[in-house]
Structure 1
Amino acid sequence: MANQYTTDQKDAKRQSIMDAAVQLFKRHSYSEITMKQIAETVGTSKGTPFHYFATKEDLFMSVLLENYQRFFADLLVQLADYPAMSAAAYVDWMVAQTANLIKEHAVLVRLNTIRGPILEGKANMEETVSKRNELYAISKRVGQELVEKTNGLLSQSQFSHLFIIQSGIISGLMNMASLTRFNHTELKVDYPDFEIDLVPEAQTQMQFYLKAYLKELKHH
């Protein structure tokens, strides 16, 4: 008789597969990773990942969207005990979160750069939209919490939208910061004018954008 697993056991196995995918993605490019490698990393049969994810793209799309949900959930916890924010304090907070996203959630940022051109090609649209709806809902909760913390500096929609801008700035810079590498291989080239120090550059760009955005709103 086939093994019967509890819901908790199934959830744990699914999470272990996602964790293995993340660990491999930290060391390899997306194209180098196979579902067989993921199964071997988990220590299970090569067909097991396909019981939970129809394609590699479905797996990595789930990693991206579910971990972004956790990122926003962590922000909600942080904001719950955060003091009231002035406009300047909000800018400083977002700049700090930009560094946090790059340093602590680099896999999410990297996956974001391949979401459209690669993952969406073979990911299940219905499942992706469902998870995207969940992500949208929690991002709105973070936006509303910022409305309250800043005494209405911006609307919920504006606060939520600025996280998309943040993600775009980081993803764009990360993509351009790899010009001295090719598929995870360091090239023996010197492009000093192309070099990007990702964290400080992303923080600077985020700060410039937010200050200009708030200044523009103030004049209207």
Structure 2
Amino acid sequence: MEKGRRAIDDEQKEVRRQTILDTAWQLYQQHSYETLTIADVAQATGLAKGTIFLYFKTKEALFLVVVEQQLESWFFEVNGVLESLAGRATIPQIAALFNDSLGKRPALTRLLAILHTLLEQNIDESAARQFKRMLKEHFLQTGNWLEKSLPFLGLGQGAHCLLQCYALVIGFWHLTDAAPIVRRVLQEEEFQMFALDFAREFPLAMQSLLYGLEHEAHLKKEV
């Protein structure tokens, strides 16, 4: 095969691959992960089901890349704001930034909630390594901007703080994204204490985490 022809074929394959990813993301925003199938993605793209599997070995592998692309978009937005706040951010500002940016991406938050329990359960080692490497790079980069925005965070502490916030996102989403039957039960006065709202609880928990780290940093300076 001629070099020019190979380049065109590679470009066409990449366009098709991105079309599959974009379609999967669009469908996921309308359906649950459990009900969405590879056949649905194939039908929406006008491709054969077997063609989808040429690009992604499993449904989980497909949505792992969807998560990766959506996270990259989220990190890009957050980094831009953190850069503008470098050296003069407040803890409530940072908590609001994370909450508001995630609030605009509810489907991403839903995906993060099933990342470890579903998506990572049926992928190969290469895909797992690639995803973790991507996540590590973004955590280090955004963690660095977080340290510049909140000077009480020490070197390398920003990335670990992001990991803790990531855990808060997953935990609170599981608590607040109740099944339809449970939501009806939670409307009863007896169970109101369990009716949590992600947009309210997550930023409060993140602020508590950051204030705790700030207090710890001050204590270390006094020793």
Q: Same fold (TM over 0.5)?
A: yes
1:199, distance to aligned residue in structure 2 (A)? 0.6
Q: TM-score, normalised by structure 1?
A: 0.84
* Residue 87 (structure 2) aligned to one of 78, 81, 85: 85
| Counterparts of 2:214 and 2:158, CA distance in 1 | 11
1:105 maps to 2:108: no
2:117 match: secondary structure: helix
Query: Which residues in structure 2 correspond to 1:28-107 (within 5 Å)?
Result: 28-80=31-83, 82-86=84-88, 89-107=89-107
Q: Name stretches of at least 5 consecutive residues in structure 1 with no aligned partner.
A: none
Q: Describe the superposition over 1:151-183 as per-residue Cα deviations: whole angstroms up to 9, x where unpaired.
A: x4323421112122222112211111133525x
2:177 match: secondary structure: coil
Q: Describe the superposition over 1:57-100 as per-residue Cα deviations: whole angstroms up to 9, x where unpaired.
A: 101111112321232233333344x14334xx241332122223
2:153 match: secondary structure: coil
RMSD, aligned α-carbons: 2.5
Residues 45 and 75 (structure 1 numbering): CA distance in 2 closer, same or farther, change over 3 Å? same
* Conserved 8 A contact 1:180-1:189: no
Q: Return the letter of the residue paired with 2:120.
A: E
1:25 maps to 2:24: no
1:196, distance to aligned residue in structure 2 (A)? 1.3
| Counterparts of 1:187 and 1:36, CA distance in 2 | 32
* Conserved 8 A contact 2:21-2:66: yes
Q: TM-score, normalised by structure 2?
A: 0.83
Counterpart of 1:116 in structure 2 is 116
Q: Return the letter of the residue paired with 2:14.
A: D
* Conserved 8 A contact 2:147-2:157: no
Residues 137 and 200 (structure 1 numbering): CA distance in 2 closer, same or farther, change over 3 Å? same
1:215, distance to aligned residue in structure 2 (A)? 0.6
Q: Name stretches of at least 5 consecutive residues in structure 2 with no aligned partner.
A: none
Flag the structure with larger Rg: 2
